[in-house]
């Protein structure tokens, strides 16, 4: 009976010793993990990085010498892209929608511009698709100031008129002979189109012996009076 208690005490001591050694092993492992984690963090953080609350870590917004320009110069540069569209200007635009009454055109303004159907061409056309295609880029004439919705009105016809008159004046200066089709007649003579512009041939200047009514669809050699 006397030996059993001593063995029990010895067993308890042994168990306590084992638990102590396990605790030490666990602490050693935890310390090893912490040391490894700390070394990883130290390696991943660059040296000499200022704290966010340090004054010298914040850039002075007025100090842009390192950027190569000042705030005033930057504002001036942006101003160059603030387009001021005026009536009479000719601008490039991209067609992005064809509608029944006209076309919507992107010219870089804050609101899409609109070109009425009657302004699509100097010539008579059946529809917008005869002249324009979606995503097409071309020149447009600004007809008016922005309306209450900030929208501009555009025209292709005005550009064609301007350029047609330039070509006609040049042909007249060269005393060129042109050929044009008669599309209508009246009591005074015949009507033709030259570079899209309407021209009139007085009856006294029609050399053919045909009746005026029979000249429709004929091509005649012409000079400018």
Distance CA 122, CA 110 (A): 28
Contact indicator for 150, 163 with CB cutoff of 8 Å: no
Parse the chain into domains and list their residue ranges: 1-34, 90-156, 177-222
- The span from the CA of 225 to the CA of 219, in Å, is 18
pLDDT in tens, 28-46: 554 444 444 444 444 544 5
Q: What is the pLDDT of residues 100-112, one digit of tens each?
A: 899 999 998 888 9
Rounded to an integer, what is the distance from CA 189 to the centroid of its chain?
50
Residue with tokens 């001593």: 6
CATH number for domain 90-156, candidates 2.60.40.1120, 1.20.950.20, 2.60.120.430, 2.40.50.140: 2.40.50.140
Sole residue written with tokens 């390696």: 43
Please state, for a pLDDT cut of 90, what percent of the chain lies above it.
48
Q: pLDDT tens for residues 128-163? A: 999 999 999 999 999 988 888 889 999 999 999 999
pLDDT at 21: 56
Do 142 and 91 contact (CB within 8 A), yes or no?
yes
Average pLDDT over residues 23-32: 50
pLDDT digits (tens, 9 = 90+) for 31-89: 444 444 444 444 544 555 445 445 444 445 454 455 555 666 655 554 555 467 889 99
């Amino acid at each position: 009976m006397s030996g059993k208690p001593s063995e029990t005490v010895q067993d308890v001591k042994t168990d306590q010793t084992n638990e102590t050694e396990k605790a030490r092993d666990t602490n050693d492992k935890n310390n090893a993990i912490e040391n490894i984690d700390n070394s990883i963090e130290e390696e991943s953080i660059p040296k000499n990085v200022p704290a966010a609350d340090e004054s010298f870590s914040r850039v002075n917004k007025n100090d842009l010498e390192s950027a190569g320009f000042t705030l005033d110069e930057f504002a001036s540069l942006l101003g160059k892209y603030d387009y001021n569209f005026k009536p009479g200007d000719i601008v490039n635009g991209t067609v992005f929608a064809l509608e029944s009454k006209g076309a919507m055109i992107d010219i870089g303004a804050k609101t899409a511009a609109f070109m009425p159907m009657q302004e699509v061409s100097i010539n008579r056309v059946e529809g917008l698709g005869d002249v324009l295609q979606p995503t097409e880029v071309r020149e447009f004439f600004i007809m008016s100031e922005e309306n209450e919705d900030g929208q501009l009105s555009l025209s292709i016809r005005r550009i064609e008129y301007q350029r047609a008159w330039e070509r006609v004046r040049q042909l007249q200066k060269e005393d060129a002979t042109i050929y044009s089709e008669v599309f209508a007649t009246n009591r005074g003579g015949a009507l033709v189109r030259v570079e899209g512009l309407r021209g009139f041939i007085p009856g006294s200047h029609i050399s053919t012996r045909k009746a005026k009514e029979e000249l429709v669809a004929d091509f005649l050699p012409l000079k400018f009076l």
